[in-house]
Amino acid sequence: MSESNHAFAQALVKSLVGERGHIPMARALPDLTLELAGHTVEGIPYTIYQLVKHMGYWQDFMLAHLEGNKPHSPASVQESWPAESAPADESQLQEAIEHLLQGVEKAVAIAQTARLDETLAHFPGETKGGLLRNIASHNSYHLGEIVLLRRLQGAWPPPGGGYPA
């Protein structure tokens, strides 16, 4: 791996896990309760649970491309949002969170080992590094929304603290 590729890989890993710019995703999600995850805030079109599921949907889509597969493209972005606003039970919530975090781990492993300038077979004009950057930015964007929803519900910071404050 070239020195510049290695530096980019390290930056991608930091972006994927949530270092420096915001709280790591792994610290912002595990303490979610059923009530908090499914709570509807007036004027906000989705719940925390729906955000977690949406993030997982697109992360899975991009990871499939990174693995050389050709996932089904949704006809509409609405297909990437779950209809249910809340999980049915605690296990469904924890499964959604764990699935998202495991996808981050998979993306980190790819960032650490892949040729980041390699193009993708089924994603014309995109590279592995570019798609990993997209996963990081999409997750970061929506993690900010999760933090805001938690603040609006009086559930921030999480145990162990949160930053930015």
Q: What's the pLDDT band for 151 if we cut at 50, 70, 90?
A: very high
By C-alpha distance, which of 80, 70, 131, 140 is closest to 106?
131
pLDDT tens across 41-51, in order? 999 999 999 99
Domains of the chain and CATH, by start: 3-152 (1.20.120)
Instruction: Centre a 10 Å sphere on the Cβ of residue 47 and count the other Cβ atoms it contains.
Output: 22
pLDDT tens across 30-69, in order? 899 999 999 999 999 999 999 999 999 999 999 999 999 9
pLDDT above 70 coverage of the chain, percent: 96
The answer to whether 136 and 12 are in contact (CB under 8 A) is: yes
The residue behind tokens 């980041």 is 116
Q: What's the pLDDT band for 163 if we cut at 50, 70, 90?
A: low
Q: List, in sequence order, every residue forming a beta bridge with 123; answer none if it has no partner.
A: 120
Rounded alpha-carbon distances, angstroms, from residue 98 to 3, 23, 102, 128: 33, 17, 6, 24
